[in-house]
Amino acid sequence: MIVAENVEKRFGDALVLKRVNLRVEPGEVVTILGASGSGKSTLIRCINGLETLSGGKITVDGHDVSTKAGLVAARRASATVFQLFNLYPHMTALRNITLAPIEVLKLPKAEAEARARALLDKVGLGAHADAYPQQLSGGQRQRVGICRALAMQPRYLLLDEVTSALDPEMTGDVLRILAELAADGTTMVFVTHEIEFARHISSRIVFLEQGELIVDLPTAQFFAEDGGLAVRRIRQFLSKMK
Ligand code: ADP
Ligand code: MG
């Protein structure tokens, strides 16, 4: 499980995460909502060890990500899919997916490829294994990105606005895959503006405001009519985003 305790992150003079506390249990889908610049990506990057903390502590399965051994263990436990299509352009979809399993997990090539093909089939891209990223649509590339993350057999999937650069139709394709993963019990931390989708797949919703985690509620409670002041403010924020 992922545990963030009193996490602080500073960039120069700016405190962009302020004593953030978050726990993600196995099997949960936690959605992080918040305005642009509220610190969502920074929190994800702290969890996967891409940023060093200015204060507090993050452990993944008990491993402190601020230690070298802990970081290796945490990176092994989680895989991240980012907003932009960060596939290697000179490699086929299949090679993008098999690279890390072969290099890092030391899987035999044939086994890594068989698994990659099974993942591509699962996301409806079985016929595109040999395509290069520029031959794929944005939505297809993002689905390859999800396969690449899953190929590392992570216990946690971190997803940072994976649909925000996609048109509605492609967004639907990617969200369908994520809904299936959630139904299979994949643990996810999901940054999104797709509020209706978040409502559908999340077990919990947290809301960041200027680096502060001001709401952390079970999804049903978050959307309850009498959710209280914090929730009313967030609804106001969400209605302005549409
Ligand atoms: P979000 O993902 O919610 O839009 P971010 O986590 O990207 O927000 O950013 C939070 C704040 O931290 C913003 O004010 C942003 O400008 C700042 N920030 C993010 N990364 C850096 C960085 N590498 N250097 C300086 N400031 C940064
Ligand atoms: Mg962001």
What value does the mean pLDDT of the chain take?
Answer: 90
Over residues 53-78, the mean pLDDT reads 92
User: What sign does the dihedral 73-217-166-116 (CA atoms) show?
Assistant: positive
pTM score, two decimals? 0.90
pLDDT (tens digit per residue) in 216-234: 999 988 888 766 666 677 7
pLDDT one-digit tens code per residue, 168-217: 888 888 888 889 888 888 999 999 888 888 888 999 999 999 999 999 99
Tell me which residue has its CA closest to atom 15 in ligand 1: 37
The token pair at 237 is 């924020």
Ligand 1: residues with CB < 6 A are 11, 16, 34, 36-42
Looking at the CA of 42, which ligand is closest?
1
ipTM of the complex, rounded to two decimals: 0.98
User: Which residue type is seen at 133?
Assistant: P
- For each of the domains in the chain, give its residue range(s) and CATH number, in order of start: 2-86+156-241 (3.40.50.300)
- CA angle centred on 21, ends 45 and 225, rounded to 5°: 105
Percentage of the chain exceeding pLDDT 70:
95
Percentage of residues in the chain with pLDDT exceeding 90? 61
Average pLDDT for residues 54-77, to the nearest whole number?
A: 92
CA 83 to centroid of ligand 2, rounded, Å: 8
Residues 6+ apart with CB under 8 A from 118: none
